[in-house]
Structure 1
Amino acid sequence: MNDVSNYSVVGRIGEGAHGLVFKAKYLPTGREVALKKILIKNLEDGIPVNVMREIKALQLLRCKYVIKLYDMFPRGMSLVLVLEYMCSGLWDMLHHHQAELTMPRVKTYAQMLLKGTRYMHAHYVMHRDLKPANLLINYKGILKIADLGLARLYWPDGGRPYSHQVATRWYRAPELLYGARYYNEKVDLWAIGCIIVEIITKQPLFAGESDIEQLAIVLQRLGTPTEETWPNHSELPDYHKITFPESTPMPWTSLLPGVEPDAIHLIKSFILYDAQKRISAKEALLHPWFQRIPLPAPMEDMPRPTGNKIK
């Protein structure tokens, strides 16, 4: 295990939920890394459970499309995670860069996200907070899934309860909005559908200002759920706490004007009330939308990356 003397801090990248993130150089090799410094508030209580989950998930997952954890070491009252340095993030790419994302690159990013998710789900890890800000991009244009602080192992038979207070609101599956405690990796698939829409249109699909507004927008656009579209939804913990006006589903062509039919078909396969019917990451990679992807433009044509957005 290394210590801080092996690293030369180059600059501060940002502030995450649990501490500061710095860009640094690993002196023995000159490799650029990100140092995520997590304050341990009370040493007697040990390392916070979500930090341990992130470490365990990163140690378990060895995939080109999931960020690498190189090392970790204690530093005073903090634990420092040494992560792969990523020069940019998808959120930046969508909201801060004027350069247009070409359709080949849109498809390539979506493919990388699905490959990383397929790998996580094959190892029974659900991320539970997929969103553009947690998808980072390196100098080579490779997109990687980061910030696994909410990741959990799940069992295919869904035998144990989890917190429903996960996933950033815009990407939160409707079962979570209704307080579900028993759920599985299908919550990640709903989020992926929302992310693909945002990569294509640069606008979030469901942008609620509160949990109730979030649910209202989903119901207004997808229509009031029925037993057919969402079996047993009325048994969810928070279902009877609030009622919404009856609504009929909006046509996807008016929700996503100008988006090609193959893309809409794929998005619709993720954005389903019935979690069991959502397309898996593995199946989605075989979708016709991904066939005939032209090669992306050379790297010189890519928007120049800004700061690392590890949260």
Structure 2
Amino acid sequence: MEQYCILGRIGEGAHGIVFKAKHVETGEIVALKKVALRRLEDGIPSQALREIKALQEIEDSQYVVQLKAVFPHGAGFVLAFEFMLSDLAEVVRHAQRPLAQAQVKSYLQMLLKGVAFCHANNIVHRDLKPANLLISASGQLKIADFGLARVFSPDGSRLYTHQVATRAVGCILGELLNGSPLFPGENDIEQLCCVLRILGTPSPQVWPEIKDLPDYNKISFKEQAPVPLEEVLPDASPQALDLLGHFLLYPPRQRIAASQALLHQYFFTAPLPAHPSELPIPQRPGGPALKAPPGPPHIHDFHVDRPLEESLLNPELIRPFILEG
């Protein structure tokens, strides 16, 4: 710890306190998660080990928070992460009104790129929620907190596959569109009731694998028909509702994969996803939402109203495909 100067406290997780710190020699700002060992004979907490292993497997993604170092400290150890200014929960909490469509698309696109990268490396996060989606000072979204992560079966032989995780992505999309959780609840049963009220009561006819779940038939719920998503989110676009519906399907194997979702028409209809520099960045302690500092001019960003050749760094690449006259 001697190489870091503590600047303040960010928060507290299941296994330790997170501090903002500066590297004494380089001046780099980082987030330090101090994990204490209650008893040496118990060893390192399994969640901390999972987080380290998962981040080591996928350390080269710009959409996953970077683990910079792990080192012992006292009766425990410290994880050094890149410092992120805020999280998506703060963005939603401090938004004056529902986020603009272009902003929602941008956040969802970055989330899906991170999820797709994790799944390509056979990692399932299992705890995707706005508070675990960190936001940098430049507006970049990155997935964090891999304490519940698992390696999944690429051949789909296990019930828990990567398509289970895309349901969580759907819940996050619903919250971004709605400005509040789509399925609120103080406990598991309340939340389940919210799900059933909107998506309807599942049956073996709709979801044959439901009978294989360990708690199937332990609790019975009255039959309810699903509510059309356009009634739940009347201000959402048809494309957004279509993608949301693909995320929230009951049978996991029928849900859209993250890589497929990135190709959905939702991202290619106006308004297009906003650039990260156009996204709100609230400070962690609260206060008004700020706008990310502008980066260099993006003169080559694609826009539907501009000629395609103006969106290329090398316009000559498109010349052979443009008809003369």
Question: Structure 2 vs 1, CA of residues 235 and 302 (structure 1 numbering), >3 Å: closer, same or farther?
Answer: closer
Q: Structure 1: which 5+ runs fail to align?
A: 161-181
Q: Does 1:207 align with 2:205?
A: no
Question: Structure 2 vs 1, CA of residues 301 and 198 (structure 1 numbering), >3 Å: closer, same or farther?
Answer: closer
* CA distances 1:181-238 after superposition (whole Å, capped 9, x unpaired): x322222100000001111211111112222222222122111223332113133221
Please report the TM-score for the alignment, with normalisation by the length of structure 1.
0.86
Determine the C-alpha separation between the residues in 2 that align with 1:301 and 1:150.
Answer: 29
Aligned position for 1:139 = 137
Aligned position for 2:107 = 109
* Kept in 2: contact 1:54–1:148 (CA 8 A): yes
In the alignment, which of 259, 280, 284 is matched to residue 302 of structure 1? 280
Aligned position for 1:58 = 55
Determine the C-alpha separation between the residues in 2 that align with 1:266 and 1:146.
Answer: 24
CA RMSD of aligned residues (A): 1.9
Determine the C-alpha separation between the residues in 1 that align with 2:257 and 2:276.
Answer: 30
Q: Does 1:35 align with 2:32?
A: yes
Aligned position for 1:268 = 245
In the alignment, which of 43, 47, 50 is matched to residue 46 of structure 1? 43
Determine the C-alpha separation between the residues in 1 that align with 2:146 and 2:175.
Answer: 21
Aligned position for 2:117 = 119
Q: Which structure is higher in RCO with an 8 Å CA cutoff and minimum separation 6?
A: 1
Determine the C-alpha separation between the residues in 2 that align with 1:256 and 1:69.
Answer: 38
* CA distances 1:71-125 after superposition (whole Å, capped 9, x unpaired): 0111101210000100010000001343763221211110000000000000000
Aligned position for 1:77 = 75
Q: Structure 2: which 5+ runs fail to align?
A: 287-325
Aligned position for 2:164 = 187
State the 1:263 CA deviation: 0.2
Aligned residues: 284
Please report the TM-score for the alignment, with normalisation by the length of structure 2.
0.83
Q: Amino acid of the residue matched to residue 222 of structure 2?
A: P
How many percent of aligned residue pairs carry the same amino acid?
A: 49
Q: Amino acid of the residue matched to residue 141 of structure 2?
A: L
Question: Structure 2 vs 1, CA of residues 301 and 236 (structure 1 numbering), >3 Å: closer, same or farther?
Answer: closer
Aligned position for 1:7 = 4
Determine the C-alpha separation between the residues in 1 that align with 2:263 and 2:193.
Answer: 33
